[in-house]
Structure 1
Amino acid sequence: MSNIRLTKMFGFETGHALYGYDGKCKNVHGHSYKLAVTVIGKPITDRSNVKYGMVIDFGDLKKIVREEIVDKFDHATVFNKNTPHAELAGDLKRHGHNVLLVDYQPTSENMVIDFAAKIKPRLPENVVLHSLKLHETETSYAEWYAEDNPVS
């Protein structure tokens, strides 16, 4: 049986600031992110399985990505918890804002690494995360590929 790649697209709005950056992105701003999640696996061949013929049900993949990424990052502001932005984050939280403090500079590059780590363990054992593509803007994106990141 052939390996098949499936891709599901997601969109979410997230704000961030890059502490210490030498350009405009040091200021709090936001993006309309587009995330493409691609998995790879063999379609289920057991005719008695309700998922017969599928690598993974798109609905199951959607549930995983929504719970791990979209529901947490959508309409949130993301700051590196080890920067002075943590004080701003505290003020925003006290005023009812959705703020995420992460262990990294919240660039697209680092976010896509974080997203891969969150998605991989939730996939069924016969399905592998192949790649992620995170569009920060229409013309700028970061990609993560499993083949570039072998498990050590």
Structure 2
Amino acid sequence: MSNIRITKQFDFETGHALYGYDGKCKNVHGHSYKLSVTVIGVPISDTSNVKYGMVIDFGDLKKIVKSEIVDKFDHATVFNKNTPHIELAKELETRGHNVILVDYQPTSEMMLIDFAEKIKKHLPETIKLHSLKLQETGTSHAEWFASDN
């Protein structure tokens, strides 16, 4: 049987700031992210399986990505916990804001590395993460491919 790639797209809104950056992105701002998740595997060949013919149920992939990424990052503000933004993060948290502190610069590139690890942990053994694409703006995106890593 052939390997097939399945892709599901997700949308979420996230704010961030890039500490030490030499442009506008040093300021707190947000993006309407589009995350495309592509997995690869062989369609289920067991005719008695309710998911016969599927690599993975789109709903099952959605549950993984929503719980690990979308539900956590949507309408949150992400800061590198190793920068002075930590003080701003604490202030926002005391005012009831959803803040995520990460141990990396919250660029699209670094977020993809984080997302890949989170998603891979929850995929069935027969399914592999093939690629991720994170669109930050209408004209800019970053991609992660398993074959490159």
Band of TM-score, shorter chain:
over 0.9
Structure 1 residue 85, shift from structure 2 partner? 0.2
Matched residues in 2 for 1:107 and 1:53: separation? 37
Task: Give the letter aligned to residue 34 of structure 1.
Answer: K
Aligned length in residues: 149
What amino acid does structure 1 have at the position aligned with 2:20? G
- Paired position in structure 2 for 1:87: 87
Output the TM-score relative to the length of structure 2.
1.00
1:20-59 to structure 2, matched below 5 A, reads 20-59=20-59
Partner SS, residue 53 of structure 2: coil
The letter for the 2-side match of 1:119 is: I
Query: 1:73 maps to what in 2?
Result: 73
CA distance in 2, matches of 1:51, 1:12: 28
The residue aligned with 1:130 is: 130
- Which digits, 9 at most, give the CA deviation of each residue in 1:97-152, with x for residues without a partner? 00000010000000000000000010011000000000000110000000000xxx
SS in 2 for 1:109: helix
CA RMSD in angstroms, aligned pairs only: 0.3
Given residue 146 of structure 1, which amino acid in structure 2 is its aligned partner? A
Instruction: Report the CA distance between 1:44 and its aligned residue.
Output: 0.2
Task: Give the letter for the 1:53 counterpart.
Answer: G
Give distance in 1, aligned partners of 2:133 and 2:115. Answer: 10
TM value normalised by structure 1 = 0.98
Can you give the 5+ residue segments of structure 1 that lack an aligned partner in the other structure?
none
- For structure 2, which runs of at least 5 residues remain unmatched after alignment? none
- Which structure 1 residue ranges, 4+ long, deviate > 2 Å from structure 2? none
How many Å separate the matches in 2 of 1:39 and 1:148? 15
Q: What amino acid is aligned across from residue 139 of structure 1 in structure 2?
A: T
Q: What is the aligned-residue identity percentage?
A: 81
* Structure-2 separation of matches of 1:25 and 1:97: 20
